[in-house]
Structure formats: C-alpha cells, structure tokens
Structure 1
Amino acid sequence: MTPAPRLCLLLAVLLLPLAGCGQPTAQGQAAPPPPQVTVAVPTTRTVTDRDEYVGRFVAVDVVNVSTRVSGFLDKIHFTDGQMVKEGDLLFTIDQRPFKIAVDQAQANLTQARANLDFTKADLERARTLLEDRTSNAISKQTFDQRTQAERTAAAIVLSQEAQVRSAQLDLGFTEVKAPVTGQIGDRRVSVGNYVTGGVSGTPTLLAVIVSTDPIRFEFTIDEASLLRMTRRKAGADIKGDPVTLKLIDDKDFVHEGKLDFLNNVIDRETGTIRGRAVFDNKNGLFRPGMFARIRLLASDPYQALVVPDAAIGTEQVKKFVYVVGPDNKVMQRFVTLGPLVGDQRVIRDGLTADDKVVVNGLMRVRPGVTVNPQMAAAPAAPAQGSASAGASGAAASSAPAK
C-alpha cells in the first residue's frame, strides 16, 4: 500500500470517534412531562345584575338669600360657611326708617278711629231726630249724608289698619332670617352697603344657603337600561328601589340610598332620561357638586355560572377560556361574559357546569396540548352576589365588560 492511501485511512480512523462526540441521538431520550395546570369547574351562584352610572350630588334646597326691603345693611349675624337652622337671624337692615313708618301709620290709625267714633255718634243723633216725627229737626237727606260719612270713616279705619300691618311687615323684613336649614356660604355684601329689596328692583344677593341632609344624587339612564329596568318591574314604578353609591376614594359601593325620581321624558339629543336618588347625609360627607358612581338593580336574582376573572382570555374582540377534555388535552372555548361578581366573572354562554376550566398556568398551555390537571380547592362562594356591569362615561349597561 502506497503512503498516500495509508495516510487517508489513518485520518479516517482518527476522525470517526470525533464525528459522534457531543451529538446525542433521539433514540432512548426521555420525553418531557406534560405541564401541570390548575383547573376548576364553574361555580353556580345566585346573582343580581346591577347597572352603574356616573353622576353628581345636588342639594335638595338652594336658597339665594336677599332682603324684601331696601336699606343700609346694619349687622351680620353669622360666620361664613357655618351651619344655620331655619329661622336663624342672618342680616339686619337699618330699622330706624321703618320704625318711624310704623309710628306714623299707627298715628294715622288713631286719628281715623277717632273720626269714626265721631261719625258714629253724629249718625246716632241724626237717627234719633229722624225718628221724632213731631220735631222735623232733620231731613232725610241729612241723615243719609251722615250715614255716608260714618261708612267712609269706617273704610278709612280699615285702610289705616292695613297701612299699620304693612309698615310692621316691612319692619319685620329688616331682619333677614334663614328660610331653610343648611350650610350658608360667604357673605356677598359688607355692613354699610345699601341693599335693594325685591319689590323696588332687582334684589341684592346677600348669601346662599344649601341644605345638606338629606341630599340628592342626579344621573342619566340610557334608553336600553330604562327599558330593562321597567320590564323587570312589569311596568310598575321603579321609584323606591334601593341603590348603592361609591365615592372616588371608596373601594366598594358602601353608601345606601333609594331612587326617588325619574323624569317623564327622554332627552331627544342624548337618548337618556334623568334619574335621581336620595341619601342621608347626617355626617356631612356628601357635598353638592361632588361626583360619584351609583348602582341600580338591573335584574331579579338568578342562577349563573361563574369562573375566576383571571381565567378569561382575549382573542381580538372575542373572549375565551381554556378547558381540559377527558383526554387531558386543552381546548379553547369561546364564551359570552356577564358582569363581575367580586373576582368572579359570570358566564352567560359557552360553558357547562362540568367543564374543567384552566385557572392557573395559562401561559403554559395552548389548544391541543396535553396537560397534567390539578383540581383547585373549591371557593367558599356566598349564597347570593351582586353582579355589576362596568361603567363607561355617564352610564353603563349590563353588557359584558371584559
């Protein structure tokens, strides 16, 4: 054998073991175990759908305080922002001109009454003389004139009595009192300014009082939600239904009230109707103008299947869950969602009570994959839940929110 073939054979022998170094064969390699996931069957709960709306508080009474008589402001009897009760004295107008008017009216009344007494006595004398047919001391015409004088004097007395009452009323109007119980704002006029009453011109605004307890909450309801609520009550009035409210810093709807008003027409431009609820506000937590969310009943209690909201997946606009079949293979199941009950989501369609839904390990599965399912511990579900739809803008229907 020549040297060249020997060299080639030697190199082949040396490279043969290197060719297989570090390259494991597929034969004999163990397959990875199926991923472990946690599954749970849907839970049946008794739930009640509720709609959410955004609105704001308004005072039951808003009073612009002004005076009925004109004059110079003499005294202010409150501090800005304090709570006042109905009948509390707020302002005093300079009373001296009005006291003079009362005295003058009473003097005129005294004079009118004296004149009436004289005309009555004169009439009685004329009547006596007229009845004495032998004397002919007075004529029938004179008697009629004295009768007319007595009647005129009586009318003047009535007029002067009215003048006295009017002057006393104006004097009383110099003390401006709180017409309602509530919180008063800041004073709009200082002492010494001339204020105008409502009779002689545009009244001067002195202050504003708003009632605080109870307080109203106004919001708008869309037409579809209104129809759903009306049909739930079979056409009966929905006023008086219980409502709950959540402030901007509340974690849940913890404030309870009731629906007390629903407008009689739907706004043509917005397709909504104005609603109103009333709440107790003894602690003064709610203030007019404050925003909040309110929940209204949208259905009667019903049985529904719920699954953890974290188990819901999204594929474009569709919602789905992963379900483990009898052969431990994962299937994708599209579902129709209902409102949220705590951390559980109502499933309106797409699942049965026996389906095993993947609730943990979603990132390790995909349709067709074989998994090792482990049953989750059954949650201690309450007997009844409150299902709330998500609010969007001014109102929210009970359509799926996720």
Structure 2
Amino acid sequence: MDNRDFLLGNSNVPHYIWTIICIMLLCSCEEQATQTSQQDIRIAQVKTMTIQSQKWQEMISAYGVIEAAKEVQITVEFSAKIKSVFFKEGQTVKRGQQLITFDSTKRKLRLQNAEQSVKDARARLHKARQEARSTRKLFMHGNAARTKYDATEAKLRQAMAQYEQSLTATKLAMRELRESRLISPVTGVVEKCNVHSGETILPGQLIGVIQVVETVRVATYVSEKDINHLRIGSEARVTSSGVAGYTYSARVEALGIKADTRTGNFPVKLMIENKQGLLRPGMTAKVVLQGLEIQDAIVVPDNILVDRQRRKVLYIVKNNAAEEIEPVIGTSPNDQVLILQGLHPGDKVITSNLQQIVNGSPVKEIP
C-alpha cells in the first residue's frame, strides 16, 4: 500500500493534512495551464512593406479581332472582254501589280480611227482658216458679201469644234488602251475575285474586292467602368497568337458611344501599322490600352492579397497585431494591383506568412 492509498483509506488523517494536499494539487494544475497557454500563443514573424503613393499608369486589358482598315472595290467604267486574270481570293497583291488584261483588239482599232479623225479634222481646219482669211480681206475691201463672210466664219468655227472633238476622242481611246491592263490601286489581300478569263464585263460591274493590310484595325470592347478612362489617340500594345513574338504599337481611333445590348460593353477601335503584312483580317488579338494616369496612386503586389471567405483581403500591422483590410481594388495589369480605397501612405502591409495569419494575430516584424 503506497502513501496515496494510505491517505485515502485512512479516516484518521487530520483535516489540515487534507487541506495542504488540495492546495498543492491546485498550484500544480495552475502552473501546467500557464505553461500550456504560453505555448499556444505564438507570435508570427512577418515581413512588411510601407505604403507610398506613386505615379501610376492605368492599363486596361481586352481581346479583339483584326479587321481590314479599308476595303477597295475594283470596277471599270467601260465594257470589255477579259483576256487574262492574274489574281485570286486570299492572294496578297501589291500596289501597281497587274490584275487583269483585257482584249485590246477593239481598243487599238478605236485609237487608230480616232487618230485618223484628228488628221482629217486638222486638214479641214487648215482649209477653213485659209478660206476665212481670204474672205476677210475681200470683205474689208468691199469685194465680198456679208453673207459669204458670215458663212466662212461659221465654217471655221465648226472645223475648230470638230478638231477639238477628235482630240478628245483620241485621248479617250488612248486611255482605254492603257486600261487594257487593270492594276491594283492598293497593297492588300484579295477578298473576292468575281471574274474569269473570256468573260465580258459591263461598266460598274464588281470585279473584285481587296482588303488593305498596310494598316489594319483592331475591334475590341471594354467595360462601362473603363470606357471613360480612354481617349482618342490613347496608346496601346497589341499581340496576336497568329504572329508569335511580335508586339505592335496601336492608337485608339474610335470610342463607342453606345454599349452592346447583349454584353453591356463599349466598342473600341484601334489602328495598327502592318508594313510587313503579317496581321490578317480575322486574327484574334490581345490588347493592353493605356488608361488614366494617376499621380498619387497606391499600388501593391497582387500576391499579398489572400482569399478569406470569397473576399480579397490584406493585412496591415497595427499595435503588434495583424488587422484585416478588405480594400477596393482597381485594374490589375501584370502583377500589380491598384488600391482605390482601404490603404493609406505609411501603412505597413504584411507580405509574408500570410496563410498563417488571421485578423488579430500577434505579429513581429522582421527585416
């Protein structure tokens, strides 16, 4: 039998002995509780950054589609038979490149006839001038009647008009002969080719359509909160998976004044120089537009924002404890986040051990 059994089984033990034993047991429990409590309270060591205001350029990201900046419809003002066609749909053509050769047999004949008409009209004009000079002399000396004088003058005017008409006809015939070769007025990609060899075309008939690609347009959309942050002429960067490794500079050409009824977003159009012709209509594009420039902005790394119950929060150090802040954030280009509300210059934001911290956690700053 040990001492404990002896005490418990001995009813003759004095009461003061029992009192001493109880006090000793209580002191032992309190000491153990204090040690346990001190072990449970752990101070998190954290790194911080001090908030400072700075100049910041807002960047707005969007996705869009490459479009042709200009579309040229190919037509002619005359009727002709096509001899050869040198372009097809999807082909890239250069400014001045030959597209079609027309049958020039009739044009050459028209030019020959027009040139002969000029010779005949010139001869008639020469003869009319000689007769007019002779009649004028006779009329001035009273040897010719007034009616004869008037008749020779009218004949001269008629000969001059016929000569002018023949010259005009010759110029027209020469132009038609030159137009036996139809050339491209622009550099671009052929969207449509509506003719083939041996076909006779009519004046105004649509021969083909060329989309200009020296300069292309990007059509995109931005949200209602971003549309008023853009201006005509604002700069942007454009990339396309169809032209890997290239980044194009662009400028805002037009801002929509009415939102799309389906999405609520506003249309934005940008112009891009496409001198190499690598961007083609229909390609997708990623656009990063420059928005407003803020002089005294507060910007933080996006990795210091953590999810707490579907909320984006961060923590600042206040009185050696972590205080939870749910800030109002703006756009997030790259790895930076614009803080619109919730932080102030001088605040110390916790940047490490964030998963171990909750609101009110004791913390200690470390370098």
- Do they fold alike, i.e. is TM over 0.5? yes
Relative distance call for 1:141 and 1:173 in structure 2 (3 A) is same
Relative distance call for 1:68 and 1:92 in structure 2 (3 A) is farther
1:41 aligns with 2:49: yes
Relative distance call for 1:185 and 1:350 in structure 2 (3 A) is closer
Question: Gaps (5+ residues) in structure 2?
Answer: 1-8, 10-28
Relative distance call for 1:156 and 1:147 in structure 2 (3 A) is same
CA contact (8 A) 2:234 2:291 kept: no
After TM superposition, give the deviation of residue 142 of structure 1 in Å. 1.6
Residue 213 of structure 2 aligns to which amino acid in structure 1? T
CA distance in 2, matches of 1:210, 1:333: 54
Match of 1:242 in 2: 235
Match of 1:291 in 2: 284
Match of 2:146 in 1: 140
Return 349-358 or 145-154, whichever deviates more.
Answer: 349-358
Match of 2:160 in 1: 154
> What whole-Å deviation, never above 9, does each CA across 1:178-226 have from its counterpart, x for those lacking one?
111233456432222222232xxxx132x33233223333445667645
Match of 2:134 in 1: 125
SS at match of 1:306: strand
Relative distance call for 1:344 and 1:276 in structure 2 (3 A) is closer
1:344 aligns with one of 322, 333, 336: 336
Residue 345 of structure 1 aligns to which amino acid in structure 2? V
CA distance in 2, matches of 1:324, 1:53: 36
Return 163-172 or 41-50, whichever deviates more.
Answer: 41-50
Alignment of 1:19-98 (within 5 A): 28=32, 30=36, 31-32=39-40, 34=42, 36=44, 38-44=46-52, 45-78=54-87, 81-98=90-107
Alignment of 1:182-197 (within 5 A): 182-185=188-191, 187-197=193-203
CA contact (8 A) 1:262 1:273 kept: no
Match of 2:325 in 1: 333
CA contact (8 A) 1:319 1:334 kept: yes
> What whole-Å deviation, never above 9, does each CA across 1:343-398 have from its counterpart, x for those lacking one?
2323232234454444444443333444x5454x6xxxxxxxxxxxxxxxxxxxxx
After TM superposition, give the deviation of residue 92 of structure 1 in Å. 0.6
CA distance in 1, matches of 2:336, 2:244: 17
Relative distance call for 1:178 and 1:314 in structure 2 (3 A) is same
After TM superposition, give the deviation of residue 27 of structure 1 in Å. 6.7
Match of 2:206 in 1: 204
CA contact (8 A) 1:86 1:181 kept: yes
Match of 1:278 in 2: 271
CA contact (8 A) 1:86 1:178 kept: yes
Relative distance call for 1:196 and 1:342 in structure 2 (3 A) is same
CA distance in 2, matches of 1:223, 1:304: 21
Match of 1:181 in 2: 187
CA contact (8 A) 1:57 1:289 kept: yes
CA contact (8 A) 1:218 1:276 kept: yes
Relative distance call for 1:348 and 1:274 in structure 2 (3 A) is closer
> What whole-Å deviation, never above 9, does each CA across 1:44-66 have from its counterpart, x for those lacking one?
34321133344333333321223
After TM superposition, give the deviation of residue 93 of structure 1 in Å. 0.8
CA distance in 1, matches of 2:259, 2:297: 36
CA distance in 2, matches of 1:312, 1:360: 11
Relative distance call for 1:95 and 1:148 in structure 2 (3 A) is same
Residue 212 of structure 2 aligns to which amino acid in structure 1? S
Residue 289 of structure 1 aligns to which amino acid in structure 2? G
Give the TM-score of the pair, scaled to structure 2: 0.75
CA distance in 2, matches of 1:273, 1:147: 73
1:113 aligns with one of 114, 122, 130: 122
Residue 216 of structure 1 aligns to which amino acid in structure 2? R
> What whole-Å deviation, never above 9, does each CA across 1:280-335 have from its counterpart, x for those lacking one?
3233332223332333332224233333323324456754223344344x332222
Residue 74 of structure 1 aligns to which amino acid in structure 2? K
Relative distance call for 1:168 and 1:217 in structure 2 (3 A) is same
After TM superposition, give the deviation of residue 74 of structure 1 in Å. 0.7
Match of 2:257 in 1: 266
CA distance in 1, matches of 2:30, 2:97: 96
CA contact (8 A) 1:41 1:354 kept: no
1:215 aligns with 2:216: yes
CA distance in 1, matches of 2:244, 2:361: 40
CA contact (8 A) 2:107 2:173 kept: yes
Alignment of 1:286-325 (within 5 A): 286-314=279-307, 318-325=311-318
Question: Gaps (5+ residues) in structure 1?
Answer: 1-8, 10-24, 230-237, 378-402
CA RMSD of aligned residues (A): 3.5
The structure that is helix-richer by fraction is 2
CA contact (8 A) 1:266 1:272 kept: no
